[in-house]
Amino acid sequence: MPVKPFRHLIPQIKAQWRLFSMGIVALLIVDVVEPYYPLALKHAIDFIKLKQSLSPITQWALIGVLITVSIGVLQYGWRMGFSGMARKVEYGMRRKLFEKLLSLPPAYYLKHRLGDLLSRAMSDLSTVREALGFGLLTFMDSPISMAITLAFMIRLDWRITCYSLLPLIFLPPLVMTVGRKLRTYSFSAQSALDQLSQTATESFRGIKVIQAYGVSKEEAGRFLLQSKDYREKNMTMVRLEAWYWPLISVISGCARVSLFYFGAERMAVDSQFLGSFVALNLFLDKLILPIMGLGFSTNQYVRGKVSVERLNEVYDQAAEINDGPGAAIIPGAPLLEMQELSFAYPAGPRVIHECDLSLVKGDWLGLAGRTGSGKTSLIRLILRLDDPSSGRVLLGGADVRQWELSALRREVGLVMQEPFLFSETILENIAFGDAEPDRAEAKRWAEVADLHDFIAGLPEGYDSMLGEKGVNLSGGQKQRLALARALYIKPRLLLLDDAFSAMDTATEERIVSRLKEALPDTGVLLVSHRSSTLRLCSQLMVMEKGSLVEKGSHEDLMQREGFYFEMVRREQLARKVGLAVD
Ligand SMILES: Nc1ncnc2c1ncn2[C@@H]1O[C@H](COP(=O)(O)OP(=O)(O)O)[C@@H](O)[C@H]1O
Ligand SMILES: [Mg+2]
């Protein structure tokens, strides 16, 4: 079965069927009523000429007013119908897109550039809206109003109609060809704009590095070059449109001249033709718009279809991580277990090899290892930010793939080395995801994370804004805030991925002892580069090239004289010569 390009769009349009049908009905009535104005004019002129009297003029004028007003009312109807429908569909599509993007796994964002996703969310959706609103409207209206107008013209005088239509034959191919060209140009202008916004985003994100390395000029140069490229592509479009519109005026002007010429000829022999002549002129003007409209809507259709297909790519993106059917902690089972766990990133080598471990509630497991040995990758598997290539991760005795993602993430708290904070208040950052932030809870966990005193010292306390317009936190404060956020959900399992790296040893020890007191049943998997931190754990493991190569207590590992032993010795040496280890 061929994949239908409008599969995601049609249900959205169907949901707006009321507005849509209102638009169509209003449009049809306008198309039928409109020709009566030129016709009424013709009859009035004929009458005046024949009877040499102005007596029924008020009557005719009234009919004219009636037609004009009802057309006005109906125009309101189809504008509301089509534009309203298009706006609502755009809204629905955008909401769906955003929900989809939020559900996609982190791996998706590694493969797709942010600028590209943003342009889909903004300009592609606008294109679809335009195609749906004005495009669909002209597409439905043009053939109908053309046919009706033509029928009236032919009834008035078919020969003069034919003559005056001759120049208009050139209109559709012109509109189509130029439309196609414009589309190509606007496409390349769009991708130039994407490029430009990508560069801008990257520059602003990396502004500190750019300035620190003194390469602002080079960056500005790159931006300027892309700006010029964007300008040139738009200029091509401007040049094309600059002769396109005059040409259309010339063609329609020729049609008018032709009508005038043959009409005048006829009037010379038949003075009663004046009324029809005036009506024909009005009809001709009504004909030019739909002819252009046909070409225009074909282009809108093609543009809209390209955008719809770009959007479909996102809508159809399989959530690589699927929600499990649901699971719960099985009493008595270890809190966390890994069984022969292996993992490779897409198209990459294996980074986790056959790892086994077990952690019971209240237990602290310390994980050490060189940068790049796979510690973070291992942690990601627990939260199902990735799924393993083989082997299993069990939480409370149930495979994490059995858990509902939302439930899983309620049980497991994660603090990363470089936490992400939102530009919201401190309270909202701690109570993240909670519709009704609990102030007392937030304070309680900020105390455990050793951040309460700092927050209480701020003029606005927990309501202080973070980010550009608010408080700027140090690296260690950010880590502590992220810890408070992870604790707020009272996790059964806490994953600390180098989460104390920006704090001094004393703060770290204070936090750990408070944590053990506040959440005695929570199991903790702690990644650290410092033996002082690792010593607070009851069991230790060392990861090397994706394998867990050393396991045991501090004493066990010291006896093995492996990586852990070396680490401890290096720290002792550093302390001896007076170097800070932190
Ligand atoms: N998103 C990714 N895609 C591909 N390879 C990755 C990705 N993230 C990490 N890696 C690779 O996986 C290995 C383990 O990295 P990581 O788990 O971050 O180690 P650690 O946390 O111990 O420093 C490294 O070789 C790294 O290059
Ligand atoms: Mg890491």
pLDDT digits (tens, 9 = 90+) for 233-263: 999 989 998 988 899 889 999 999 999 999 9
In a domain, 475, yes or no: no
Of the residues 112, 341, 351, which should be mutated to test ligand 1's pocket, given the most ligand atoms within 8 Å of the CB?
Answer: 351
**CA–CA separation, 132 and 469 (whole Å):** 40
CB 212 near ligand 1, within 6 Å: no
Residue 1 — very low, low, confident or very high, per pLDDT cuts 50/70/90? very low
**CA–CA separation, 320 and 346 (whole Å):** 12
In a domain, 484, yes or no: no
Q: For position 281, what pLDDT does the model report?
A: 94
Coarse DSSP helix, strand, coil percentages of the chain, rounded to the nearest 5 percent = 65, 10, 25
Q: How far is CA 213 from CA 198, 200, 216, 224, 254, in A?
A: 20, 17, 8, 19, 64
Tokens 């001896």 found at: 576
Same domain, residue pair 60 and 122: yes
DSSP E strand stretches across 51-120: none
Q: For position 2, what pLDDT does the model report?
A: 52
Distance from Cα 372 to the centre of ligand 2, integer Å: 7
- Choose one of 284, 315, 346: the last residue of a domain: 315
Question: pLDDT digits over 345-373, tens only?
Answer: 888 899 999 999 999 999 999 999 999 99
In a domain, 457, yes or no: no
Question: pLDDT digits over 179-188, tens only?
Answer: 888 888 888 8
Structure tokens at 546: 């994706």
Q: For position 103, what pLDDT does the model report?
A: 84
Same domain, residue pair 229 and 289: yes
- Choose one of 315, 347, 376: the last residue of a domain: 315
Read off the amino acid at residue 414.
L
Same domain, residue pair 140 and 247: yes
Q: For position 565, what pLDDT does the model report?
A: 94
Same domain, residue pair 24 and 93: yes
In this model, does residue 582 exceed pLDDT 60? no
Give the predicted TM-score (pTM) of the model: 0.73
Q: Range of 69's domain?
A: 9-315
The closest residue, in CA terms, to atom 9 on ligand 1 is 377
Number of domains in the chain: 2
Structure tokens at 515: 């944590």
Same domain, residue pair 310 and 352: no
In a domain, 90, yes or no: yes
Q: Report the residue count for the chain.
A: 582
Tokens 């598997």 found at: 381
Task: For residue 173, give every residue at least 6 positions away whose Cβ sits within 8 Å of its Cβ, in sequence order, or none.
Answer: none
- Ion ligand 2: residue ranges with CB closer than 5 A: 376
- Mean pLDDT over 196-222 rounds to 86
- Mean pLDDT over 279-287 rounds to 92
DSSP for 407-444 reads HHHHHEEEE-SS----SSBHHHHHTTT-SS--HHHHHH
In a domain, 468, yes or no: no
In this model, does residue 325 exceed pLDDT 90? no
Burial readout 248-285 (b: 16 or more C-beta within 10 A, e: otherwise): beebbeebeebbbebbeebeeeeeebbbbbbbbbbbbe
CB 346 near ligand 1, within 6 Å: no
CATH number (domain holding residue 507): 3.40.50.300
Q: For position 3, what pLDDT does the model report?
A: 64
Same domain, residue pair 255 and 342: no
Same domain, residue pair 154 and 261: yes
Sheet with strand 364-369: strands edge to edge? 412-415, 493-497, 523-527, 364-369, 539-544, 547-552
Smallest-distance ligand from the CA of 496:
2
Of the residues 352, 355, 367, 376, which should be mutated to test ligand 1's pocket, given the most ligand atoms within 8 Å of the CB?
Answer: 376
CB 380 near ligand 1, within 6 Å: no
Distance from Cα 427 to the centre of ligand 1, integer Å: 32
Looking at the chain, the whole-number percentage of residues with pLDDT higher than 70 is: 98
Q: For position 579, what pLDDT does the model report?
A: 65
Q: What is the mean pLDDT of the chain?
A: 89
CB 347 near ligand 1, within 6 Å: no
Q: For position 290, what pLDDT does the model report?
A: 87
In a domain, 323, yes or no: no
CB 110 near ligand 1, within 6 Å: yes
Question: pLDDT digits over 57-107, tens only?
Answer: 788 788 888 888 999 999 999 999 999 999 999 999 999 999 888 888 877
Same domain, residue pair 263 and 380: no
Same domain, residue pair 114 and 247: yes
Question: pLDDT digits over 440-483, tens only?
Answer: 999 999 999 999 999 999 999 999 998 876 788 888 999 999 99
CATH number (domain holding residue 31): 1.20.1560.10
Same domain, residue pair 311 and 374: no
Residue 283 — very low, low, confident or very high, per pLDDT cuts 50/70/90? very high
- Mean pLDDT over 162-183 rounds to 87
Looking at the chain, the whole-number percentage of residues with pLDDT higher than 90 is: 53
Residue 28 — very low, low, confident or very high, per pLDDT cuts 50/70/90? very high
- Choose one of 315, 344, 363: the last residue of a domain: 315
Q: Are 75 and 30 in contact (CB under 8 A)?
A: yes
In a domain, 297, yes or no: yes
In this model, does residue 556 exceed pLDDT 50? yes
Q: For position 245, what pLDDT does the model report?
A: 85
Same domain, residue pair 307 and 195: yes
In a domain, 330, yes or no: no
Q: Are 458 and 471 in contact (CB under 8 A)?
A: yes
Q: Which atom of ligand 1 is nearest to the CA of 373?
A: 22
Residue 398, classed as helix, strand or coil, is strand
**Torsion angle of C-alpha atoms 523, 528, 531, 537, degrees rounded to 10:** 0
Same domain, residue pair 33 and 113: yes
